[in-house]
Chain A
Amino acid sequence: MEKYLLPEIPDYHLIDVYENNGGYQAFKKSITLNPDAIINEIKKSNLRGRGGACFPTGLKWSFMPKDNSKPKYLAVNGDESEPGTFKDRNLFEFNPHLIIEGILIACYSMGIKTAYVYIRGEYGKWIRMFQKALDDAYSKNYIGQNILGSNFSTNIFIHKGAGAYICGEESALMNSIEGDRGYPRVKPPFPAQKGLWNCPTTINNIETLANIPLIINKGAEWYSSIGSPKHPGPILVGISGHVNKPGVYEVPTGTLLTELIYNFAEGIPGNKKIKAMIPGGSSTMILRGENIEGVKMDAESLKAAGSSVGTAGLIVMDEETDLIRVITRITKFYHHESCGQCTPCREGTGWMEKILNRFEKNEAKKEDLELLLDVANNIEGNTICALGDAAAWPVQSMIKRFPEEFERRIKKVEPV
């Protein structure tokens, strides 16, 4: 397939090279169009958010109120912290102007005059790369006042995170921009009603916005014909773990997991079997290796297989992997990253970690398995944001799909 998000053109990150290859044409076309026509085109394209929730982007944009005198904001989510996810880093490095073009079209369509691009603090190098791209776009008047002689003006600022996974949650991200701890907000109100500084706000993932110029350039019909009809378009899949060639691969949605692992990532070292895999970052439900045949990288197929597409960060584990160690480490992560607002998540993630530590040391009691599941079930659905669910799902799915891994770690009690 031709590559649209990460084309193999040397120096594509430079504004001149980007322009010489058709860059910023979609934006130039957009500012001659009616904003509603653009939103309709995005709706028709069936583009779904690439940040994890797969929410229809056009629909999200249409939630922004039109008859509101308050300023409107775009918050761009480049916090990318889901373990196993490293796609947006590639976009910042190799195609920053596509992101900027997507942001500009979003701002024009929704009447937004300020966009904040929230980038995780660890990406210091990539923040500088993206700032350089922004500076170049400012100097050519793609950003700023009366852009390209039009009535449209907008500013784009980077807001640097400081090491908190929770800030990838959209309402925590807004609090972090406002200068607060990254505490998620209770919804409703939703960001389109009350977002940044209580003003209408839209939050989109970096990769989602990178898809926008493609749709404007080639049309919704063309876009929706790529990959799976209900979740179409090119998608960046990050493959890591036990594969010969880990990396970010641009494929149409609907690509088979087996094709991703065996063709793109060139299989498993030593031709070992796949014991398990996580399809979309560490919060998505784990799948057994023998059950991935025929499963595709798209929302519907992965849902049917009992998982989700998440951030398309695929982690492969070979037959020798200690899955108890894996789930203990995942749980430690969510315990560390829980913001602490909701008791089920703050306490429950810690309890799960403690119980799992017993399994890891082969010191678990028989009733620990039931206790672990009980704690996970009491976190899920009982918290302000989805971090609680994200902590519960890996544990629940690991117990359901790999019960034998837990059972063999239960301490044998010697008969008296």
Chain B
Amino acid sequence: MLNDSNLKRVDEIIKRYPEPRAALLPALWIAQEQEGYISLKMMKFLGNLLSLPYSHILGVVSFYTMFHEKPLGRFHIEVCTNISCMLKGSDKILSTLEKHCGIKCGETSEDGKFTITEVECMGACSGAPMIAVGEDYFENLNEDKTLKLLNNFSNVTKLNGNDDVDDDETEFGGGD
């Protein structure tokens, strides 16, 4: 299930801990990086690899919100609605995204392009309201900036094209 180079990575990571079990979270990250999500098959594979029962792995996967049991859209848009973002109008950002993508929070668009998720505080409160797309943070948003950002994404056709998005760091980044 894991490809050879990822298997090697997991082997290396196991050495960091006195027990292989501790490599579970890193191994799950690598699996999700490879597949986009963590399938049942993958959980069983990792169970064999780390000598852990499948039920333990499912328990861990379902406990941590960043592990996904189903594939997500190409652009996973995470909208912080926690207190600092709420005070700065995150509800408008969320409704703009829902309207533009034609889906409700928690859903994936039919073309597989967007998934919108409401998330808890991402640690970017000085740049509220903010969203994260993949590992990129987009801060100090308003409705216009959100629309511009979505248009940029719409121009990207490549899979996993986050890095090609023409985002103006100085405009959307900032804060701290």
**Complex alpha-carbon distance, A179 and B49, angstroms:** 14
Chosen A-B contacts, 24 in total, with CB atoms closer than 8 Å, are A80-B123, A83-B82, A122-B66, A124-B134, A155-B16, A157-B16, A160-B26, A162-B67, A163-B64, A178-B22, A179-B52, A181-B60, A197-B18, A240-B126, A241-B83, A241-B87, A241-B128, A247-B175, A315-B87, A317-B87, A321-B87, A326-B87, A333-B83, A337-B120
Query: In chain A between 314 and 345, which residues have their CB closer than 8 angstroms to a CB of chain B?
Result: 315, 317, 321, 325-326, 329-330, 333, 336-337, 339
B4 contacts chain A at the CB level, 8 A cutoff = no
- Beyond A179-B24, A333-B120, whether A86 also contacts B176 by CB under 8 A is yes
Residues in B with CB closer than 8 Å to A339 are 63
Asked whether B120 lies within 8 Å of A162 as measured between CB atoms, the reply is no
- Beyond A160-B25, A160-B26, whether A325 also contacts B19 by CB under 8 A is no
The digit string for A164-199, where 1 denotes a CB below 8 A from any CB of B, is 110000000000111111100000000000000100
Residues in B with CB closer than 8 Å to A48 are none
B125 contacts chain A at the CB level, 8 A cutoff = yes
Interface residue ranges, B against A (CB under 8 Å): 16-19, 21-26, 28-29, 50, 52, 56, 59-60, 63-67, 81-84, 86-88, 119-128, 132, 134-137, 175-176
Residues in B with CB closer than 8 Å to A241 are 83-84, 87-88, 125, 128
> When the two chains form the complex, which single residue of A163, A278, A337 contacts B66, counting CB atoms closer than 8 Å?
A163
- Beyond A160-B26, A315-B87, whether A85 also contacts B125 by CB under 8 A is yes
**Complex alpha-carbon distance, A337 and B120, angstroms:** 9
Asked whether B123 lies within 8 Å of A89 as measured between CB atoms, the reply is yes
Asked whether B126 lies within 8 Å of A248 as measured between CB atoms, the reply is yes
Residues in B with CB closer than 8 Å to A330 are 83
In this complex, what residue of A is CB-closest to B81? Answer: A329
Residues in A with CB closer than 8 Å to B50 are 179
Asked whether A90 lies within 8 Å of B87 as measured between CB atoms, the reply is no
**Complex alpha-carbon distance, A241 and B83, angstroms:** 8
Residues in A with CB closer than 8 Å to B59 are 181
Question: Distance in Å from the Cβ of B65 to the closest Cβ of chain A?
Answer: 4
> When the two chains form the complex, which single residue of A89, A163, A179 contacts B23, counting CB atoms closer than 8 Å?
A179
